[in-house]
Structure 1
């Protein structure tokens, strides 16, 4: 049995380097809880390092792993990709896990009497950590005065009130640079109140006011979960020191939605300060604001020269290899290609709209940028336009692509020097540039888009085997073009849970119902899901590919439930499968090493497939012929 990383949690939250990169630690699971919206659940687990325990939240790829690998209490997992978070307002330590591997199953029960809650220990002893947020607590605790008697407290409060009254009678004057703590305020209902820089906002500051421009305003959105339903919207406030996100809910959202206009400048105070949520924000500020009924927002109509219009932190496309996948970035490029919008369905059955836009910059590099939902449907900019994507993340599967995150937004032809320079370069030189395309590697879509990269980068089956693709820890992706020679009619699907957010296998009961042990529900009928095996060959070799539900649906054109009905009605599935034999497709393949009974072998699964573009094939062959004469 694999060993857990003794005091690994303690190391993550006390060592700044490990806090910023909490990977390659082994932890044992002793509790699993599903939270959030049933249509888009979150998985909260409790993990143990032999001495301490704390909460961990599964997100991104780890949610897929959870549904596929049937994670159980007692299993030991290794964190491959994740992020540590300190919720200082609630005094919580949380590990956000984006990807993991299961290194051992069915471990012994944990003796919780000998384990201590990590956050309880660290928040009582913050001086033991060199993580900045905990060190701040240590500093504030060290500077806190000793408890006072009631009479002393009353005297001190009176003195503070007198000091505040004196300060309010004297305007705050400041002649320093824009990044200082306070700026001169013109008379208004917020007259003579100190103006704080956005970068200084934290829960440790109570009396603050910011003067900031609304750099982004979202649409009003509706939400619903087990607790009820409501609406929300968010804005980004910008000053010369940075940006901070603000959110408002329900009745307050209606009030502030009408009041706040993108591009205008406001005084804001008395908003609730809380830790930021990186999954929903593209800003670097560690905190965000919540506008409630006690918040004060006033329009600023004068002295707006020192508030910038927009703030970009643009990363050149040739520098994307150096970007951390967990970080949010801004990019700028010339639109080269606008793909049609298409539907994408997740494994939970939820449907999204998506569009891919290829952009390139003056480094000679181009990349696919994924847009989602409303921005994807409404995108109408022509090729050749300058586009800034503010708030996107890098997706890395043996290649690069970009994806807009919730809260990110697009700016066309911005009036900044960098945009003018890029447009000038493109008009003079860029139109003739042959860009290096950092192809999209995801393969999550069920249709539409170009997910098979450049033909010149395609591999033969023999090449994939000779290069031992699949031996890396996380597996490897590659593209092939091949013909289907056989489709296995046996075990083409499994009976799955009918709940929309569950894909676990169900077991038929004596009464004819089908039971899901995960959901603890008996269903009248199962929902069959594909695990279809097909044989594919090219001019060099042959492999077996597994097609899961989305890809098999895409190939066969019917659901696993429909195919199962055909089988039960006595139809020969081989006749149905014959029409797909010897047809040629592009396949996006994932190779991964599988260990069973101390034997290892490479398993191949299909993450996407599509018909061969013969025009592109002819163009590729033409390029090869021309290059042979040069």
Structure 2
């Protein structure tokens, strides 16, 4: 039976394709998970099965990665027998799957995941950003942001008023106010069960909370409010500091890797490492983790989470391979101190971007690192190729376009190629990808590059609106 909330949403927004996220947001605020896959299917028939389910299924990622990606692969192929197999292999209770048809009750699967995994349960966030008379909403779980809707501010306010009793709400400011009125409105809800904390940061409000980003330190009260911790701002980090501690969000985490180098005795030394980027309100900095610290910190440092980092060292950055604007990078060895710390919603999940349009690649030199945001025009399948050194590697070719009227190819490798969740017409934000002169101009994502599918930023929304209104009908020019 359909929920009263869902019927209200359906009646007002029956032309919006992705209403499932709005209903999920509102239901989760009151601890309800009642929207089924069938209900979503009823109002979004123009969507493919895989596209509708993909975002909902991402919440299952805490399960074994291979089972999770088998699940996604089966969805892409509409092979429901394979979907059932993937669920069984991942040991998801079969009570949450109606076999033999397409009515997979995804919300019940989500509920099961939330109940079993405290990290996901305690880390759920709803993120609001006010646009022009609209609100952009995203849902966060397990440290990652998932899909979004852009809806009319007045529509959301009306829904909230209908769904939540007035006794649970604070006074709502008038529509069109410059602060995110809906976020303020829902923040007034007093939950009976305080086990789960839901944060509703407004990007506009956050920007005003701390305007002095040029200062070198920032203080935060500890959870008991009895003392303050002081952190160095990333923008002010230099090797001359004898002792420092930063509070930063992980915006990029690379794969573990090894390199071999011959020493003076003719023997090879093997070094383990992985790259990462962390950011605070003042800026972003790259880091590299070495040897024993790889084993110590790789599973500790999670994408999207906020950490306190100290007892590490700073070295001059190689600008040729550094995609941040920082003059230095952090070197983390086993003696470093890294601990999770409070996430107050004041740090962007993406770090900094310095986007250029595709046509500007003609002025970029071979090997230069650039930031690009573009629409996926074509997305090839992952394939295994043999490198010049005789090793087998998985790669995927993607064609990107933007408002400049140009098209460029992007190559991604290994786990990026296997796990890529983008599709045609997705928005892809790339940070620190390498320019190649192959084919006139092309792009390659390396170990330190960053790739975000459908990022929740104004530039992505602008690009999406351009593509659906004009870009789909355009003929694009390549560099060949």
TM-score when normalising by structure 2: 0.50
The 1:197–1:325 alpha-carbon spacing in structure 2 relative to 1, beyond 3 Å, is farther
Contact 1:280 1:405 in 2 (8 A): no
Residue 348 of structure 1 and its aligned partner are, at CA, apart by: 4.1
Select the residue among 274, 283, 295 that pairs with 1:233: 274
| Equivalent residue, structure 1, for 2:468 | 427
| Equivalent residue, structure 1, for 2:214 | 179
| Equivalent residue, structure 2, for 1:330 | 371
The structure with more radius of gyration: 1
The 1:283–1:297 alpha-carbon spacing in structure 2 relative to 1, beyond 3 Å, is same
What is the alpha-carbon distance in structure 2 between the residues aligned to residue 293 and residue 248 of structure 1? 9
Q: Which 5+ residue runs of structure 2 have no aligned equivalent? A: 1-208, 262-266
Deviations 1:345-370 (A, max 9, x none): 45444444332210101222111111
Structural RMSD (CA): 2.8
How do residues 491-506 of structure 1 correspond to structure 2 at under 5 angstroms?
none
Q: Give the 3-state SS of the residue equivalent to 1:424 in structure 2.
A: helix
| Equivalent residue, structure 2, for 1:197 | 233
The 1:237–1:343 alpha-carbon spacing in structure 2 relative to 1, beyond 3 Å, is same
Select the residue among 294, 297, 303 that pairs with 2:338: 297
Residue 192 of structure 1 and its aligned partner are, at CA, apart by: 4.7
Deviates more, 1:408-417 or 1:179-188: 179-188
Residue 254 of structure 1 and its aligned partner are, at CA, apart by: 1.9
Q: Give the 3-state SS of the residue equivalent to 1:376 in structure 2.
A: helix
The question of 1:381 aligning with 2:381 is answered no
What is the alpha-carbon distance in structure 2 between the residues aligned to residue 279 and residue 373 of structure 1? 23
Select the residue among 346, 349, 354 that pairs with 1:306: 346
The question of 1:275 aligning with 2:275 is answered no
The 1:291–1:380 alpha-carbon spacing in structure 2 relative to 1, beyond 3 Å, is same
What is the alpha-carbon distance in structure 2 between the residues aligned to residue 305 and residue 347 of structure 1? 46
The 1:325–1:179 alpha-carbon spacing in structure 2 relative to 1, beyond 3 Å, is farther
Residue 215 of structure 1 and its aligned partner are, at CA, apart by: 0.6
Q: Give the 3-state SS of the residue equivalent to 1:405 in structure 2.
A: coil
The 1:429–1:276 alpha-carbon spacing in structure 2 relative to 1, beyond 3 Å, is same
Q: Give the 3-state SS of the residue equivalent to 2:215 in structure 1.
A: coil
Contact 1:245 1:281 in 2 (8 A): yes
Select the residue among 231, 247, 252 that pairs with 1:216: 252
What is the alpha-carbon distance in structure 2 between the residues aligned to residue 372 and residue 237 of structure 1? 23
Residue 333 of structure 1 and its aligned partner are, at CA, apart by: 1.0
Residue 317 of structure 1 and its aligned partner are, at CA, apart by: 1.1
Q: Give the 3-state SS of the residue equivalent to 1:392 in structure 2.
A: strand
| Equivalent residue, structure 2, for 1:478 | none
The 1:366–1:269 alpha-carbon spacing in structure 2 relative to 1, beyond 3 Å, is same
Which of structures 1 and 2 has the larger relative contact order (alpha carbons within 8 angstroms, sep 6+)?
Answer: 2
Q: Give the 3-state SS of the residue equivalent to 1:266 in structure 2.
A: strand
| Equivalent residue, structure 2, for 1:318 | 359
More strand by share: 1
Contact 2:314 2:328 in 1 (8 A): yes
Contact 1:283 1:328 in 2 (8 A): no
How do residues 428-467 of structure 1 correspond to structure 2 at under 5 angstroms?
428-439=469-480
TM-score when normalising by structure 1: 0.39
Contact 1:345 1:352 in 2 (8 A): yes
What is the alpha-carbon distance in structure 2 between the residues aligned to residue 312 and residue 207 of structure 1? 29
What is the alpha-carbon distance in structure 2 between the residues aligned to residue 294 and residue 355 of structure 1? 38
The question of 1:371 aligning with 2:407 is answered no
| Equivalent residue, structure 2, for 1:413 | 454
The 1:287–1:317 alpha-carbon spacing in structure 2 relative to 1, beyond 3 Å, is same
The structure 1 segments of at least 4 consecutive aligned residues displaced by more than 6 Å after TM superposition are none
| Equivalent residue, structure 1, for 2:295 | 254
Q: Give the 3-state SS of the residue equivalent to 2:478 in structure 1.
A: strand
Select the residue among 399, 412, 425 that pairs with 1:358: 399
What is the alpha-carbon distance in structure 2 between the residues aligned to residue 233 and residue 363 of structure 1? 35
What is the alpha-carbon distance in structure 1 between the residues aligned to residue 398 and residue 292 of structure 2? 37
Q: Give the 3-state SS of the residue equivalent to 2:418 in structure 1.
A: helix
Contact 1:282 1:405 in 2 (8 A): no
The 1:337–1:235 alpha-carbon spacing in structure 2 relative to 1, beyond 3 Å, is same
Q: Which 5+ residue runs of structure 1 have no aligned equivalent? A: 1-173, 440-630
The number of residues matched between the two structures is 265
